[in-house]
Amino acid sequence: MRKYLVFLGVSIFCLATLATYNAVAAKAPEYVGVEGCNCHKTEYEEWSKSSHANAFNILLAAGRSRGDNKAMKDAGLDYKKDYDKDPKCLPCHTIGYGKPGGYKDEKSPEHLRGVGCEMCHGAGSEYRVLHKEKDETFTKAEAAAMGEVYPPTKEMCLECHDHPDSPFNSKVDEKYKFDFEEMVKLNKAWHKKYELMFKH
């Protein structure tokens, strides 16, 4: 009888652990796109005029400038071609390409195009709810536990800016070497860094 009770206890513990694991796995953050990020109005406005916001457009021949065309020619790319369906380009020109909630193909919502907030701050389905529910009272630790990244890191930037699939990486030409510290100072690719208004 005692062995049976021990076996039963261990079985219940294992089932409870599995159920907890499945619940956590089911709540993994998903990408939701830039719609809804405009609570940070100043940051959103600055970002919307940035090169990151327009990153998807340069995959389209009609969305490129003459300068882009020259760079593409120099890299051996056809500047008259659209690259908006190229799986080598999409991970760095869309939000969460191929990941839960992220950009999949041309039928995906427009708010998943470009390099949006989540490319630097992590998939937002969970922490966005926290922001709305707790407003200025949430803590950074709570948001980080839900997948938010503070602040974006050099490694995150290099995932695209020095990706081996890119014809514009430092191994192709030293002029494409990504200087994180300098790029952060420029603020033209995203938004300025603002001090938090509330204690998080």
Amino acid (1-letter code) at residue 117: C
Q: What is the pLDDT along the chain (200 residues), one digit of tens a residue?
A: 565 544 444 445 444 444 444 444 446 899 999 887 666 788 888 888 888 999 999 999 998 888 888 888 888 899 999 999 999 999 999 999 999 999 999 999 999 999 998 998 999 999 989 988 888 888 989 999 999 988 778 898 899 998 988 988 888 888 889 888 888 777 666 666 656 665 66
**Residue 129 to residues 95, 147, 158, 175: CA-CA distances in angstroms?**
19, 12, 29, 41
CA distance 191 to 200: 20
Q: Which of 27, 184, 41, 35 is nearest to 118 (CA)?
A: 35
**pTM to 2 decimals?**
0.78
Distance (Å, rounded) from C-alpha 15 to C-alpha 122? 31
